[in-house]
Structure 1
Amino acid sequence: RKGELIENYDVAGCYILRPWAYFIWEQIKAFIDAEITEMGVQNCYFPLFVSDAALHREQTHIADFSPEVAWVTKSGDSDLAQPIAVRPTSETIMYPAYAKWIQSHRDLPLKLNQWNNVVRWEFKNPQPFLRTREFLWQEGHTAWATKEEASEEVYQILDLYTRVYTDLLAIPVIKGRKTEKEKFAGADWTTTIEGYIAASGRGIQAATSHHLGQNFSKMFDITFENPQTKSKQYVYQNSWGITTRTIGVMTMIHGDNKGLVLPPRIAKYQVVIVPCGITASLSKEDEDALIQTCKDVEGKLKKAGIRVYGDYRDNYRPGWKFNHWEMKGVPIRVEFGPNDKSRSQLTVVLRHTGNKSTISIDNCETKLHEILEQMHKDLYIKAKAELDSHVVVVKDWAGFLKALDNSCVMLTPFCGDSSCEHRIKQDSARDAVVEEGAPAMGAKALCIPFDQPEKLAEDQQCCHPECKRKAKYFTLFGRSY
């Protein structure tokens, strides 16, 4: 809250996104929107409400969401004849329309995206950005003639989400596939990117891209006439989404004891200019000249495409301003006083390291661009080092539990069986020490990484001591949000 990202609200589990946070979401939105538009995806909007009949068309799907669905049951003093659900996701809202719009192979592929809000009435501990009852996201829904085309898009979108984290937020992620137990309800298979929060020793799902197969098209009768066979064929579908959870992941990975640390590419202000050394002994003429130079530099940086803010408020001392902008995570603070003016220089302080240096005013825009680019690299390298040092390969149960107690996520041989996965989670939950407010849990399967650490031995058993099955692949396990 002190970083002015959010404000509490009087409905539990809901939060106000302040402009400082919403700007970050707008940067993410602009990045994704440009990319998916290039892919031929069109934006649209479907209603917030879904009928009970439509919601229950796909039983596997609704069974997973049912405990979190919010219902509208009254209008004024009158009970509604039929309760109406507030969307937890839009498959059952959008697909009846897809059945109308798709008749021929010429109608395919159909690629639509929504930027909207959804409501999931979480009963777990709500946490800002990470677990909230209402959140913003984009949800893409596409329909294809062939499984091969649809599958290709699933990975294309996952790569896009990976770039949101690496290229915008300076965060490394692990790409993989969800287990059968953890896949999206109603999907054939789910791909995911997973992050790691060092402060809590937990993994976190960062974004998902699902191949729905023909499950929903059969349920909603979304068909086209095959031009070769002239017979009716069900379409193949995907859905994919990324949410404002991105902001929470960024905050937890890069933040420090002083407050936020914003990666430069999503910061509302990349540079803040603070005039200094304005004392009673400084003449009005010199003060005006100093402020004017600050404004000249500000204009120069804006012209160069740097997002900059000059803090000329005279009711706060420079020290207060330093603390204020540090807490808000502005990447670079420029201090400019009489000595700097006499030397035609700027004093530059970096938020992520606290390092202080001077640069010439003459080429300040070029130099600051370079510093901002290096800052992004530094933040990524630091986060990658944290991730790499906490991802460990373990092949037995004792090593699994030890690594878990050391706040690691584990790559471990796993049979893939859902009942064994449940047992691993249960048996690793003993004496779990967690931070206040976080959900206490054992280790869950985060993903089956695409990049396997090594080839499994032919006789490699599953990591759980009571499981007698052979391992199929290394799976990433860990405590999670």
Structure 2
Amino acid sequence: MSKGLPKRSEDYSLWYNELVKRADLAENSPVRGCMVIKPYGYSIWEKMQAQLDKMFKETGHVNAYFPLFIPKSYLSKEAKHVEGFAKECAVVTHYRLKNSEDGKSVIVDPEAKLEEELIVRPTSETVIWSTYKNWIQSYRDLPLLVNQWANVVRWEMRTRLFLRTTEFLWQEGHTAHATKEEAIAETVQMMNIYAQFAEEHMALPVVKGVKSENERFAGAEDTYCIEAMMQDGKALQAGTSHFLGQNFAKAFDVKFATKEGGLEYVWGTSWGASTRLMGALIMAHSDDNGLVLPPKLAPIQVVIIPIYKTDEESKNISEKANEIITKLRSKGISVKFDDRDTHKPGWKFAEYELKGVPVRIAMGPRDLENNSVEIARRDTLSKEIVNLEGVKIEEYISELLDIIQKAIFEKALNFKHEMTTEVDSWKEFESLLENKGGFLSAHWDGTNETEEKIKELTKATIRCIPIDRKTEAGKCILTGKPSEGRVLFARAY
């Protein structure tokens, strides 16, 4: 293996970038700001995708696919929406190339200009709501619960693998309802699904809340979110769910005939989570040795590494390893037997540690004699010798994976608690942001101006107004004006 990773404590950003590359998750592409997701990284995304897709379908949603290109005029129909995305849009103006006069390159054919420019989707509300106009006529067509898995483009100036790239993968749900109450219930349900996924599968504790007006999705009446805390004390938004009211229905004239025979605009929601979740997974759990993956999302849950000197030893260990593999796979555990003779066991240990494989089993000739194996946990780096006499190895490993999943969550939960501080003075607010970071629970007077001023002074934003916050009288951290309750501030990705 190459030299060790940079230390998180010395350069967190460099540690993150190096880990993404060295663990074979992703790399920069020839196109500035875009990334190549490598097979190991993509296999983690596939596990995330499969679980989220299952949860969506269990709540009545179905998948569809909509065009990558959106007519520019569509974006003009919802004023707040276009304002929110205008600076990030990639625009297609021509549809053909031709050879240059000297034949040495290709140029844009000036004769092939589009009558109307097309926007490469930054999000799909506009094209989907124009489609829903044709799909929805009556209350019988509602609710319409559609999700799509897609790529989107937002022209970013400062990019970082997984966290912020010009093109990224995501899912976006778009639903239409007969009543305001149904739409709000859908919005809250999807926030809860994201939170459940984050906590039960990513082992990532989150805060559920509502965004302030300044942080709200462009074109929404309310944005619900889940916020997570990374190891460097910065917050990361891990999923959002938007109550759109009737804004897009009115913009695209989507009406339905009611049971009573009237005609009304439908109520809408949209919700999404992206490959940014990969960044959250890495930054929340990993250490100076590499990735630490929760077993539920690890592409390889167990790796078996043989230690031998002779062909005979290799053959005997392989036979025992294959017995174990069959038993583990019968329990649905993903296992890899790395019997490559091109690398030494120590090199392999370091490689799978870097890649975050939750459990490593090592077997040598002495282990065969003693009918035992060495089992190492990635999360704690602890090892133990387990005698296989009277032990069902598949049960033992299955239970160990559950223990590891819970332990990773508990560690992250304890960290989140340590990094959440109630603050009542501006001096302490500034000091904590500079020296510790984390979530600062503080009073705010509810005005956009104060929120903007705090951001300008400290680079901290209101991450959310927690769903479970208590109503309590207080004074705004900056202005001293009356406040109804605390909100969570943090510097964020």
Q: TM-score, normalised by structure 1?
A: 0.93
Question: In the alignment, which residue of structure 1 is the partner of 2:437?
Answer: 407
Partner of residue 357, structure 1: 384
Whole-angstrom CA distance in 2 between matches of 1:198 and 1:258: 15
The letter for the 2-side match of 1:225 is: A
- 80-89 vs 31-40, greater mean Cα deviation: 31-40
Amino acid at match of 1:148: E
Unaligned runs of 5+ in 1: 429-441
Residue type matched to 2:215 in 1? E
Provide the residue aligned with 1:162 in structure 2.
Answer: 195
Query: What is the CA distance between 1:473 and its match in structure 2?
Result: 2.2
Aligned to 1:242: 273
**Alignment correspondent of 2:286:** 255
Deviation, 1:215, is: 0.8
Return the alpha-carbon distance in structure 2 between the equivalents of residues 33 and 255 of structure 1.
26
Q: For 1:84-118, what per-residue CA distance to the aligned partner results, in whole angstroms no more than 9, with x for missing partners?
A: 11000000011011111111111111111100000
Q: Which amino acid aligns with 1:424?
A: I
Aligned residues: 456
Q: For residue 288 of structure 1, give the secondary structure of its aligned residue in structure 2.
A: helix
Gap regions ≥5 residues in structure 2 = 1-20, 98-108
| Shift, 1:398, TM fit | 1.3
1:455 CA drift (Å): 4.0
Letter in 2 for 1:456: E
Distance between the aligned counterparts of 1:148 and 1:231, measured in 2? 19
Match of 2:245 in 1: 213
1:468: how far off? 5.3
Residue pairs, 1:177-216, within 5 angstroms: 177-199=210-232, 201-216=233-248
Give CA-to-partner distance per residue, 1:379-410, whole Å, 9 cap, x none: 01111111111110112211211221222220
Structure-1 separation of matches of 2:273 and 2:333: 27
- Partner of 1:448, secondary structure, is strand
The answer for the alignment partner of 2:423 in structure 1 is 394
Query: Which amino acid is 2:400 matched to?
Result: I
Query: Following the alignment from structure 2 to structure 1, what is the Cα–Cα distance between the partners of residues 141 and 125?
Result: 19
Structure 1 residue 145 displacement after superposition: 0.4
* Pairing 1:447–2:447 present: no
The C-alpha deviation readout for 1:8-34, integer Å capped at 9, x for no partner, is: 211111111111111111111111211
Describe the superposition over 1:292-332 as per-residue Cα deviations: whole angstroms up to 9, x where unpaired. Answer: 21122122211221100000101111011111111111011
One-letter identity of the residue aligned with 2:156: E
Distance in 1, matches of 2:282 and 2:488, equals 23
Distance 2:313 2:217 in 1: 64
* Distance in 2, Cα, partners of 1:319 & 1:286: 18
SS of residue matched to 1:171: coil
Match of 1:117 among 122, 136, 151: 151
Matches within 5 A, 1:55-454: 55-75=75-95, 76=97, 77=109, 78-123=112-157, 125-199=158-232, 201-228=233-260, 230-276=261-307, 278-279=308-309, 282=310, 284-361=311-388, 362-405=391-434, 406-428=436-458, 442-452=459-469, 454=470
Look up the match of 1:438.
none
Aligned partners of 2:143 and 2:178 also within 8 Å: yes
Residue 456 (structure 1) aligned with residue 455 (structure 2):
no
Contact kept in structure 2, 1:359 and 1:367, CA below 8 Å: no
Distance 1:427 1:476 in 2: 16
| Aligned mates of 1:328, 1:270 — CA distance in 2 | 11
> For the Cα contact (< 8 Å) 2:471–2:484, is it kept in 1?
no
CA contact (8 A) 2:70 2:118 kept: yes
RMSD across aligned C-alpha pairs, in angstroms? 1.2
CA distance in 2, matches of 1:210, 1:264: 31
TM-score (normalizing by structure 2): 0.91
CA contact (8 A) 1:403 1:409 kept: no
Question: Following TM superposition, by how much is the alpha carbon of 1:257 offset from its aligned partner in structure 2, in angstroms?
Answer: 0.8
Distance in 1, Cα, partners of 2:154 & 2:34: 11
Give % identity.
Answer: 40
> 1:470, CA displacement in angstroms?
1.4
Give the letter for the 1:248 counterpart. Answer: G
| C-alpha distance in structure 2 between counterparts of 1:134 and 1:296, whole Å | 44
Deviations 1:46-100 (A, max 9, x none): 0100001111111100101110000111221233232211000000011011111
Whole-angstrom CA distance in 1 between matches of 2:461 and 2:155? 22
